[in-house]
Chains A and B, each alone.
Chain A
Amino acid sequence: MEYDLFFFGELFIHTFSYWWVIIPAIFLGLVVGAMPGFSAANTIIILLPLTLAMKPEVGLTFMVALYASSRMGAGIPAILFNIPGTAGAAATPLDGYPMTKQGRGQQALAMSFVASISGGLFTTLLALVALPWLSQVAYYLHSVEMIVIMFFGISLIATIAAKDTLKGLIAGFFGLMIGFIGSDAVYETPRGTFGFLELYDKIPLIPALVGLFAISEAFAFIEKQHIALEDDQGAVPRTGWTQTLEGVRIAASKWWLITWTSLIGLVIGVVPGAGASIASFVAYQQSKTFSKTPELFGTGHVEGLIAPESANNGVTSGTLVPLLIIGIPGGATAAIMLVVLQYHGVTVGPDLFMNNPELAFGPFAAMAVTYTLMILTALPLARYMSKITVVSTIYLAPIIISFTLVGSFVPRGYLFDMNLALVFGVIGFIARKTGYHVAAILIGVILGPLLEMYFLRAMKMSQGDVMVIFSSTIGNTLWVFLAISLAIPYIMEYRRKKRNSILESND
């Protein structure tokens, strides 16, 4: 079947007619994305009776809109409180939160929204065009290549914690060891569980996220009256629409950064299981590497906020590619979409594009329409959302602690997870106070189980030969890229110092 501009045009106009489903889903997605423990996947599961009762294309449109907006919503608490709504937004507070502390919360939100919307829209349209080629990416990445990708993720830790690389690496590898807790995937042997049955199924991510970011931050910011920058009288300066408009202008001027970092997200999103957390950290590291002002990263730098936000929204469209083409969901939400489609008797795969192209391309059209409608619905909210940072920490700290702590209970329903969040909170607080980056620990916890799984597979295939990790051409190419990526910051730093010393000697 030939797909021409007329076909796609008609599809978009038809999808716009579902605005009555998309707009409520956008607001719902923003709310659930902003609450740690309430992922889009959980919400879709709760609303499953509703989506199953809808026609497949309406249900799918609703789920896609909720998914896309929740990805953007996760950045809101990350910027305002240093608490990522999901692991995918874990790189967002690195520069987003310092901006809030400088009194630029509204501007940061506006920039994050523009980056998310533009990145998401661009990659969705690109995915639509490049669907057949993108689907091939997943075929070339096996366990050996994935090990290198995981190490790529870990290497970012050193760059993220640029003030003290050694501390960054210790935090990251400590996180990896924590991520190894639980039964191993092949032999089911419990390891490092301290005898707790609740840890046999690996470290749950939400309590780790809640503890490391929310609890520790709440304990840290009680030292201040407000989160936002205060004047001499302890008051927060008032702002109108100026910051939103300025945020939009700055983000628009960084269109090239949005383009290429969202492409990183799209490619990583195509790989099943890789996810938004890896994509956002890769984008952050890469934008820092190629930035003209890498020393400003971590201090409230615009590029450090835009890169992870456009990348994690690029992942959103990427995860739909393997789902629709080969029937492998790229993440939890995509897996639920697959269940809903199967319930309606829809079989995904190449046949879907031949027999029911409206349904096959529909999710991408729904995503594009969602991002377009978000310009009108979500962007104006930045001004009002940022007001929350002027609320006194006397009230904010207890609210954050109680609601996020109980949020860590939600995914598994274990009271144990609340205690686990508290333990992570203590670790996070000490880490914050002593200069160990909590994001480095978190990325370790996220990558630990994945790294171990790919290691186990590779070991099984090679009958225990560790050298298998250097046995693939793609893998070896990735190792070279990894080495280059680790070396570039040092080379650039050396060149900068050399240039400065020449300038000083000339003076």
Chain B
Amino acid sequence: MAEDTGNKNLERKSIGSELIIPVAALLFTIYYFYTIIDAPWTAQVAAFIVGSILIVLIMLFLAKCIRSIILGEGTLNFDTIINPKSFLIKRLGLLVLTIAYTFVVSSLGFTITTFIFLFMAMLLLSDGHKKRFIFSLSLLLSLGGYLLFIVAFKTRFPAGPFETLMKGLF
């Protein structure tokens, strides 16, 4: 009996997850309309046409979602986003590391930040195994990236203490 209920829940569509994009689109469209309210007509027309079509589409989708909830075909959960739960911690950890990367790279520069990020992210995903290999790989990739992009291609990457120190050499 309990298994049946579980299977039924699995079969049901995760409406909560499916509503994230339409709700975000709706909120953004309303905000966009607010920012063009005083603009000249010619500058509003494209956004009003496209935005209005988008709102109609979202309303149609909402109606479809409500119908599937009433018919018992869907539930208001977020399972599609969260599942598989065994990877949730790793995924959140990777997200935190990625956010940290975007903030730290401005002060530590490309090479050091990339090394730290690669090392920590690979360690997280491998459950802490192969520490030495991951350390060497992270070092090799960050230095390789520095040589290829900054030294060879002269690409404008975020600079930090390492790049400043090496500037005298290359």
Contact = CB atoms under 8 A, between A and B. Distances in A.
Interface of A: 38, 43, 46, 166-167, 169-171, 173-174, 176-178, 180-181, 184, 186-187, 189-193, 215, 219, 222-223, 393-395, 397-399, 401-403, 405-406, 409-410, 413, 415, 418-419, 422, 425, 427, 430-431, 433-436, 448, 451-452, 455-456, 459-460, 464, 466
21 contacts: A46-B153, A46-B155, A170-B61, A177-B50, A187-B39, A187-B43, A191-B43, A222-B87, A399-B141, A402-B121, A406-B158, A430-B21, A430-B81, A434-B18, A434-B81, A451-B46, A456-B43, A460-B42, A464-B41, A464-B42, A466-B49
B122 A395 contact: yes
B34 to A, nearest CB: 9
Given A170-B57, A174-B21, A177-B50, A410 B122 contact: no
Contacts of A171: 21
A172 B87 CA distance: 30
B155 A410 contact: yes
A393 B45 contact: no
B60 interface: yes
B13 to A, nearest CB: 10
Contact of B101 (A166, A191, A405, A434): A405
Given A398-B118, A410-B155, A430-B17, A173 B45 contact: no
B122 A169 contact: no
Given A166-B57, A406-B114, A434 B20 contact: yes
Nearest to A454: B46
- The B interface, classified by DSSP as helix, strand, loop or mixed, is helix
Given A186-B43, A189-B39, A456-B43, A427 B24 contact: yes
Given A430-B81, A434-B21, A402 B118 contact: yes
B114 to A, nearest CB: 5
Interface stretch (B66-74, B91-99, B162-170): B91-99
B158 A192 contact: no
B39 A394 contact: no
Q: 4 nearest interchain CB pairs?
A: A398-B121, A455-B46, A174-B25, A173-B54
A410 B60 contact: no
Contacts of A193: 35
Interface of B: 14, 17-18, 20-22, 24-25, 28-29, 31-32, 35-36, 39-43, 45-47, 49-51, 53-54, 57-58, 60-61, 64, 80-81, 84, 87, 90-91, 94-95, 98-99, 101-102, 105-106, 110, 114, 117-118, 121-122, 125-126, 137, 141, 145, 153-158
A191 B57 contact: no
B90 to A, nearest CB: 6
B43 A170 contact: no
Given A176-B50, A177-B32, A393-B125, A433 B101 contact: no
Contacts of A190: 35
- The A interface, classified by DSSP as helix, strand, loop or mixed, is helix
A431 B57 contact: no
Contacts of A189: 36, 39, 43
A223 B87 contact: yes
A327 B85 CA distance: 57
A487 B9 CA distance: 37
A191 B35 CA distance: 5
A477 B49 CA distance: 22
A223 B84 contact: yes
A415 B108 CA distance: 13
A192 B32 contact: yes
Given A395-B137, A415-B106, A433-B80, A222 B90 contact: yes
Contacts of A435: 18
Contacts of B50: 173, 176-177, 180, 448, 451
A409 B81 CA distance: 28
A466 B52 CA distance: 15
Contact of B36 (A169, A191, A223, A403): A191
B94 A222 contact: yes
Contact of B105 (A170, A176, A418): A418
Contacts of B20: 430, 434
B14 to A, nearest CB: 8
Interface centre among A169, A395, A410 (most CB of B within 10 A): A395
Contacts of B36: 189, 191-192
A180 B32 CA distance: 9
A401 B98 CA distance: 8
Nearest to B79: A433
A452 B101 contact: no
B118 A180 contact: no
A187 B17 CA distance: 39
B122 A187 contact: no
B32 A174 contact: no
Contacts of B155: 38, 46, 410
Contacts of A431: 21
A181 B31 CA distance: 11
Contacts of B84: 223
A86 to B, nearest CB: 16
A215 B98 CA distance: 10
A71 B36 CA distance: 38
Interface centre among A177, A178, A189, A402 (most CB of B within 10 A): A402
Interface centre among B14, B121, B137 (most CB of A within 10 A): B121
Contacts of B81: 430, 433-434
